[in-house]
């Protein structure tokens, strides 16, 4: 049976504003193991690290473009070992090399992308691999059939044009507030930029954008995902911006709910 597998990607050299997301993987593991909570998902699956949730540790990533090849290779090895990747960023640039390894395994893949920002820049200040660009690269390479974005409140003219060019389905926060929800079909990959959640719930990010999703809204969205859920990432948590430790337990909760949903949607009845 496919096994949800945690893999840490401590890389933040493609951040456009503030570094620090490279420190997230150990902080999320610590929150997963913290005795302030238990290891169960809300649907009552025990998601213990090293058990229901395998853990292959962190990749060794230099702060250069070489990191992308190492991520692609690391995800490929994880897939060959029968794992379902649950990747911990790092900045959002890691999603492109993840999909380079994963996308060809899943024809017809839909990506659900939760983020304040569309991350669709053709290049950002000359860098086509910036954390502001991964979904432009993924769609150019045909690594997913459908991209559905939720939580968006940082759109601009250029990215709006890119969304139209690539046929991206954008459910921005105004549409969300009107009650619009994504209609999804598997196979599904979920990419969660923690800044998609409102900074009142998740202050530990590099780009705080008010007016976002609540923790509850994101958790409920994950619990209702169709299957199979074939991979996921949780990116852009910046522990240095999380002074009272609100964001690490949220990331741990998202990991538990994602792993639980992976199990529920890939198990044979």
- Residue ranges binding Mn ion (CB under 5 A): 92, 115-117, 119, 193, 195
Phi, psi (rounded to 5 degrees) for 164:
-70, -40
As measured in angstroms, the least distance from the Cβ of 129 to Mn ion is 13
Distance between CA atoms of residues 17 and 43, nearest Å? 37
Nearer to Mn ion, 55 or 236 (CB): 236
Q: How far is the CB of 212 from Mn ion (least distance, A)?
A: 10
Q: Could you tell me the smallest distance in angstroms from the CB atom of residue 119 to Mn ion?
A: 4
83 vs 199, beta carbon nearer Mn ion: 199
Judged by CB, which is closer to Mn ion: 2, or 240?
A: 240
Name the residue nearer to Mn ion (CB basis): 40 or 124: 124
Minimum separation from the CB atom of position 93 to Mn ion (A): 9
Nearest residue (CB) to Mn ion, 55 versus 195: 195
Nearer to Mn ion, 68 or 117 (CB): 117
Of 230 and 234, which has the nearer Cβ to Mn ion?
234
- Tell me the closest approach of the beta carbon of residue 11 to Mn ion, in angstroms: 14
User: Treating both helix axes as pointing N-terminal to C-terminal, what angle do 247-266 and 24-33 enclose, rounded to 10 degrees?
Assistant: 80
What 3 state SS string does the chain have? CCEEEEEEECCCCCCCCCCCHHHHHHHHHHHHHCCCCCCECCCCCECCECCCEEEEEECCCCCCCHHHHHHHHHHHHHHHCCEEEEEEECCHHHHHHHHHHHHHHCCCCEEEEECCCCCCCCCECCECCCCCCHHHHHHHCCCCCEEEEEEECCCCHHHHHHHHHHCCEEEEHHHHHCCCCCCCCCCEEEEEEHHHECCCCCCCECCCCCCCECHHHHHHHHHCCCCCEEEEEEECECHHHCCCCCHHHHHHHHHHHHHHHHHHHHCCC
Shortest approach of Mn ion to residue 22 CB, angstroms?
15
- Tell me how far, at minimum, the Cβ of 247 lies from Mn ion, in Å: 13
């Amino acid at each position: 049976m496919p096994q949800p597998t945690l893999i840490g990607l401590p890389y933040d050299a493609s951040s456009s504003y503030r570094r620090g997301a490279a420190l997230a993987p150990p902080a999320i593991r610590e929150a997963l193991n913290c005795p302030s909570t238990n290891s169960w998902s809300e649907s009552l699956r025990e998601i213990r690290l090293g058990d229901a949730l395998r853990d292959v540790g962190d990749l060794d990533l230099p702060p250069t473009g070489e990191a992308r090849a190492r991520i692609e290779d690391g995800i490929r090895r994880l897939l060959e070992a029968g794992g379902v990747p649950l990747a911990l960023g790092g900045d959002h640039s890691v999603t492109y090399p993840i999909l380079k390894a994963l996308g060809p395994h899943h024809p017809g893949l839909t990506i659900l992308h939760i983020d304040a920002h569309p991350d669709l820049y053709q290049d950002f200040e000359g860098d086509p691999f910036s954390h502001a660009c991964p979904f432009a690269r993924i769609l150019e390479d045909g690594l997913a059939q459908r991209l559905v974005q939720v939580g968006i409140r940082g759109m601009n003219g250029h990215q709006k044009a890119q969304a139209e060019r690539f046929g991206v389905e954008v459910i921005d926060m105004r549409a969300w507030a009107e009650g619009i929800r994504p209609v999804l079909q598997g196979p599904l990959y979920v990419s969660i930029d923690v800044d998609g959640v409102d900074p009142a719930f998740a202050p530990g990010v590099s780009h705080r954008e008010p007016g976002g999703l609540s923790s509850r809204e994101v958790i409920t969205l994950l619990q209702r995902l169709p299957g199979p859920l074939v991979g996921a990432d949780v990116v852009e948590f910046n522990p240095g911006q999380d002074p009272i430790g609100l964001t690490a337990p949220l990331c741990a909760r998202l990991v538990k709910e994602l792993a639980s949903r992976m199990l529920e949607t890939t198990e044979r009845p």
